[in-house]
Amino acid sequence: MNRLQRLHVERSGLGAIAAKVLAGERLDREDGLLLYRHPDLLAVGALANHVRETLHGDLAYYIVNQHINHTNVCVAGCKFCAFYRTAKQPDAYVLSPRDVERRMLEQIHEPIREIHMVGGVNPDLPFDYYLEVIRTMKRVRPEVHVKAFTMVEIAAMAENFGMSVEEVLRGLKEAGLGSIPGGGAEILTDHAHQVLFKGKIDHRAWMEIAKTAHRLGLKSNATMMYGHVETLEERVEHMLLLREAQDETQGFMAFIPLAFHPENTRLSHLPKPSAADELRNLAVGRLMLDNFPHVKAYWIMMTPRVAQAGLHFGADDLDGTVVTEEIYHRAGSTSPQRISRRQLVVLIEEAGRVPVERDTLYNPVGPQPDRAAPERPAQSTRPIPGASGPEAGMGISP
Ligand code: V47
């Protein structure tokens, strides 16, 4: 932070939090709430940007990827979802492994590094279906990273097939699964679970599966879907639970706040998210989740414009080219369904950041930009043991 920004943050009344951030001290529940309630969004953003730049300098990551939703049939009945169908509805679908192959072949000319696949909780699909889909993806593009199936889908597989979560994960991993996307976390509290998504696992199970995956060497992301029935306290609680789990496993790569899109859902009376709320959630996430390496501004749901601004509110990643997105588009997203690699690069450059193409695990790929990130790889904003001075704690743990 430069002197002017520091003065601004102090005058805004966030001096105590700023001092903690600059000293690398962990923020607590009350700090989280204050950051949510504070009227000066730019001051909150400046603090988050400081952490973001300490970790990643000017770099902003993107990936060339393809999203495929293999089925919209789901028995969970979540109130926030515009995507799911019952098996009997006329527009219910399941993609066969051959269909998945076809979708991939349509994009075979693109240098895709990741397939992101999630779908509904569909009890009619056998375990072999999931294995076959993964094997097909690896056959069509052996080099592709398969990031697939949320903790919710994995829980359902374990239950439906009489297997332990560990057996499911080992089977999927053997077939070629590379990591797990961050979906299905919603808001990790009993209240949100009861009101919104009681047809699927609660936060205890979500976290246990995440930790099991991490222990088996599968990295994952973590989302937070906000802006529906939850309170600010619940958002902070969600972040604290993630932070605690991350202390244990170090298995989460990115935190991805997702603003609720109400159209075509049973909560369609709720307002659409504001850009200010989206930016604030990125910023609070960046500040509270001091042990998460990355914060993602998922352009598909934020729109490219707000995601660009997000790169100055704590986010260091825009996600990817995506190709075909259904979950938000059914819920009223006005973003395009795909974006080219060139467009992503331009979006990042226009925002004053330096684009870095990455793979799923955040290894840079392709030609590297001239300007580098801070010397050490991003892992945590916790203090470096033994370091001193007012900004020492903003360093990165070894
Ligand atoms: O689990 C569903 C959310 C998630 C709505 O890991 C909604 O890299 C807002 O998890 N309004 C799926 N949100 C998407 C997801 C994701 C996206 C991008 C990257 C990654 C990653 C993961 O979307 C669901 C749910 O939490 N969601 N419906 C809605 N109407």
Domain CATH code at residue 158: 3.20.20.70
Domain count, the chain: 1
Query: Does a structural domain hold residue 35?
Result: no
The pLDDT of residue 345: 95
**Cα of 262 from ligand 1 centre, angstroms:** 13
**Cα of 180 from ligand 1 centre, angstroms:** 13
Query: Does a structural domain hold residue 152?
Result: yes
Query: Does a structural domain hold residue 41?
Result: no
CB 168 within 8 A of CB 158: yes
> Could you tell me the two tokens for 82?
């515009």
Query: Does a structural domain hold residue 20?
Result: no
pLDDT tens, residue order, the chain (398 aa): 889 889 999 999 999 999 999 999 999 999 999 999 999 999 999 999 999 999 999 999 999 999 999 999 999 999 999 999 999 999 999 999 999 999 999 999 999 999 999 999 999 999 999 999 999 999 999 999 999 999 999 999 999 999 999 999 999 999 999 999 999 999 999 999 999 999 999 999 999 999 999 999 999 999 999 999 999 999 999 999 999 999 999 999 999 999 999 999 999 999 988 999 999 999 999 999 999 999 999 999 899 999 999 999 999 999 998 877 777 677 776 766 678 899 999 999 999 999 999 999 999 997 776 655 555 444 444 433 223 232 222 222 22
Q: Which residues contact 99 (CB under 8 A, 6 or more apart)?
A: none
Query: Does a structural domain hold residue 49?
Result: no
Which residues contact ligand 1 via a Cβ below 6 A? Answer: 80-82, 118, 150, 181-184, 186, 221, 223, 225, 256, 258, 260-261, 265, 298, 319, 327, 331
**Cα of 8 from ligand 1 centre, angstroms:** 35
**Cα of 6 from ligand 1 centre, angstroms:** 35
> Could you tell me the two tokens for 22?
């600059």
CB 122 within 8 A of CB 71: yes
Query: Does a structural domain hold residue 391?
Result: no
Domain ranges, residue 307:
58-374
Q: Please, which contacts does 154-160 make with residues 24 or more away whose CB atoms are closer than 8 Å?
A: 154/180, 154/209, 154/213, 155/200, 155/201, 155/205, 155/206, 155/209, 156/121, 156/123, 156/200, 157/127, 157/130, 160/123
Distance from C-alpha of 53 to C-alpha of 236, rounded to nearest angstrom:
23
Q: What are phi and psi of 383, to 5 degrees?
A: -60, 150
> Could you tell me the two tokens for 221?
């992301």
Query: Does a structural domain hold residue 349?
Result: yes
Query: Does a structural domain hold residue 31?
Result: no
CB 210 within 8 A of CB 151: yes
Q: Using CB atoms within 10 Å of the CB of residue 1, give its burial: 0 to 12 exposed, 13 to 18 middle, 19+ buried.
A: buried
The pLDDT of residue 367: 74
- Find tokens 């959630």 and name the residue: 281
